[in-house]
Amino acid sequence: MTHLLEVQDLVTKFYTEDGIVHAVNGVSYTLDEGESLGIVGESGSGKSVGVLSVMGLVPSPPGKIENGQALLNGRDLLTLSGDELQNIRGREVAMIFQDPMTSLNPVLTIGRQLTESIKIHLGMDQETADARAAEMLQLVGLPDAADRLNDYPHQFSGGQRQRIMIAMGLSCNPSVLIADEPTTALDVTIQAQIVELVKNLQQKLGMALIWITHDLALVAGMVDRVAVMYAGFIVEYAPVGSIYEQPMHPYTLGLLHAMPQVSAEKKQRLASIEGMPPDMRNEPVHCPFAPRCPYAIEKCWQENPSLIATGPNRFSACWRWEDIKNEKTFGGASA
């Protein structure tokens, strides 16, 4: 089966004065037309660096893609020149970044920034591009869209700026939209609006979606599959429903039990994952989660497990996945 996007064994490192940072360690996943994938993990887990590598946006130096493929409709993005990638970014794959205030140029009007890629990728003249830009702003729910093309980023609220970034990403009809924690800087009410907006637009336009977040609860109702990342590795990869119903990696189990839950039966104490994420300058020779894992055994310290099939379309990188899938608590914490 040919996938729209197929990332295979992606390895990205950063060569710094303090040592080599092993940011992404052999990541693989696929994305089909119209499908949505959530990439979840703590800060520093490699989830953003992985997609930036695919987009050709990792600064070099210090970053370097050491291995892997990123096949978009059969073309390996990692082998393309800068000019070739420039033609693909925005047109075939678009990205929404975390903070719209730093992503938007503060001294250029919204219309100027929206129409730039439209004119480059779709070949429209200024008048037609302006009409397209206003249409996209209206699509993402910005009132008085045509009248606001001459406004600057500081004249919009945080939620409006994020809507503008979404409009910019969708303006050239990309087949893949990557959203890199786009709701992090927004309050909870606006977060919900942006999530609902992206979900509705994906269904309406039929594009594929990669949603990157540290919040496992956020992707529950908006993606088809989830890749859980830790220390630059994908440690669990499964359909979203099965991740919540029966996690098969202790890190996923810990994330789920750390989520606030409303319970009418009794008060619940949130479980915590003790310890700190690993120093990414140390190349892992054992399971990277072992120092924080209450289920670790001797084998976990001797060998880093690879992703293995644990069920239909399910994969886990854990020696004890069969025991973990029956766990109702994390490390003995009250559920």
Per-residue pLDDT, 169: 87
Rg, Å, the chain Cα set: 21
Cα dihedral sign for 234, 197, 173, 167? Answer: negative
Per-residue pLDDT, 335: 37
> Taking the chain, what is the end-to-end CA distance rounded to the nearest angstrom?
41
For residue 290, pLDDT beyond 80: yes
Which pLDDT tens digit goes with each residue over 176-224? 999 988 877 677 788 888 888 888 888 888 899 999 998 888 888 889 9
Higher pLDDT, 330 or 288: 288
Of the candidates 277, 316, 308, 210, the residue with the CA atom closest to the CA atom of residue 23: 277
* Nearest-angstrom CA–CA distance, 104 and 89: 16
Per-residue pLDDT, 117: 87
- Give every strand in the sheet of 208-213, ordered side by side: 93-96, 176-180, 208-213, 36-40, 225-230, 233-239, 314-316, 308-311
Per-residue pLDDT, 320: 93
Of the candidates 290, 178, 224, 214, the residue with the CA atom closest to the CA atom of residue 41: 214
Tokens for 99?
A: 């903070």
Q: Tell me the mean pLDDT in the region 4-13.
A: 95
Percent of the chain with pLDDT over 70: 94
Which pLDDT tens digit goes with each residue over 226-254? 999 999 999 999 999 999 999 999 999 99
Per-residue pLDDT, 328: 79
For residue 150, pLDDT beyond 70: yes
For residue 331, pLDDT beyond 80: no
Q: Tell me the mean pLDDT in the region 292-308.
A: 93
* Nearest-angstrom CA–CA distance, 120 and 250: 47
Which pLDDT tens digit goes with each residue over 65-83? 999 999 999 899 999 988 8
Of the candidates 234, 278, 222, the residue with the CA atom closest to the CA atom of residue 51: 234
For residue 24, pLDDT beyond 70: yes
Give the position of tokens 């096949």: 71
Q: Tell me the mean pLDDT in the region 141-154.
A: 90
Tell me the range of 34-38, 171-175, 266-270 where mean pLDDT is highest. 34-38
For residue 102, pLDDT beyond 80: no
Q: Tell me the mean pLDDT in the region 284-295.
A: 92
Instruction: Place 142 in a pLDDT band, splitting at 50, 70 and 90.
Output: confident
Average pLDDT, the chain: 88
Instruction: Classify burial at 57, counting beta carbons within 10 Å of its beta carbon; exposed 0-12, middle 13-18, buried 19 or more.
Output: middle
* Nearest-angstrom CA–CA distance, 292 and 314: 23
Instruction: Place 332 in a pLDDT band, splitting at 50, 70 and 90.
Output: low
* Nearest-angstrom CA–CA distance, 17 and 40: 29
Q: Tell me the mean pLDDT in the region 301-329.
A: 91
Report H helices in the chain. Answer: 47-55, 82-88, 100-103, 110-122, 126-139, 158-170, 188-205, 240-245, 250-257, 298-302, 321-324
Taking the model in full, what pTM does it have?
Answer: 0.90
Q: Tell me the mean pLDDT in the region 81-105.
A: 84
For residue 157, pLDDT beyond 90: no
Per-residue pLDDT, 69: 94
Per-residue pLDDT, 266: 55
Report H helices in 174-325. Answer: 188-205, 240-245, 250-257, 298-302, 321-324
Is residue 294 within 8 Å of 272, Cβ to Cβ?
Answer: no
